[in-house]
Amino acid sequence: MKDLRFIAIEGVIGAGKTSLAKIFSNRFHAGVILEKFEENPFLEKFYSDPIKYAFHTQIYFLMSRYRQQRKIAQIDLFKSRVITDYLFIKDRIFAEINLNEDEFTLYDKIYRLIERDIPLPDLVIYLQAEPEFLYKRIKKRDRSFEQEIEYEYIEKLCEAYNTFFFHYNRSPLLIIDVKGFDFISNSKDVDLIYNEIKDLKEPRRIIFREW
């Protein structure tokens, strides 16, 4: 565990990234950097009119995430631990889904210029879930700007995320099928994942429970 100085937690909307990042920040005595999605002035407009506001939304997120990641690069990771509730490269997953061809070409030029400055995590945790499970969670938590999200959009994201992480090899990867786990109410579930992380020796591992 001494080498795990930077951990990134990823997953589709509703997977529980932020909750787990906060919990593990205490377990690992780490600083936590969370996405400030609520500060994006285009996000609610995007869910209402994706074609019109996709590029605005994506560029805002790209630069916001870039600024946060540069802060991580400036931290002395030999003395501190950091946990984030996103992986920088995931921005490109959304861009490929949301932008048209011309918009993505321009986006990609900007992305390629700045990605070289982004630090790689020592471990990525991917919270995997089925679209039905995520859609129910999103509706249940009742965030106003998420109520326009369509089920088909969640399906697209799940497919894109699964494809991406099937090929991901830039960092050690721990995949958790979140169905069957309750990280907020069940401390034993947190203990299980915490111990898996401490004992992790494989570059890729999948954890799931029978449901």
Per residue in 4-33, pLDDT (tens digit) is 889 999 999 999 999 999 999 999 999 999
Q: Does any domain span residue 162?
A: yes
Q: Does any domain span residue 147?
A: yes
Q: Does any domain span residue 1?
A: no
Among this protein's residues, is 177 annotated catalytic? Answer: no
Q: Does any domain span residue 149?
A: yes
pLDDT in tens, 91-104: 999 999 999 999 99
Q: Does any domain span residue 128?
A: yes
User: Pick the catalytic residue: 3, 85, 142, 199?
Assistant: 85
What total number of domains does the chain contain? 1
pLDDT in tens, 124-178: 999 999 999 999 999 988 787 788 899 999 999 999 999 999 999 999 999 999 9
CATH code of the domain in which 46 resides: 3.40.50.300
The band of 2, judged by pLDDT with boundaries at 50, 70 and 90, is: low
Q: Does any domain span residue 95?
A: yes
Q: Does any domain span residue 32?
A: yes
The torsion angles phi and psi of 19, rounded to 5 degrees, stand at: -60, -45
Residues 6+ apart with CB under 8 A from 173: 123, 124, 125, 126, 165, 203, 204, 205
Alpha helices in the chain (DSSP H): 17-27, 43-48, 50-73, 90-98, 101-114, 131-141, 151-167, 187-198
Domain containing 10 equals: 6-207
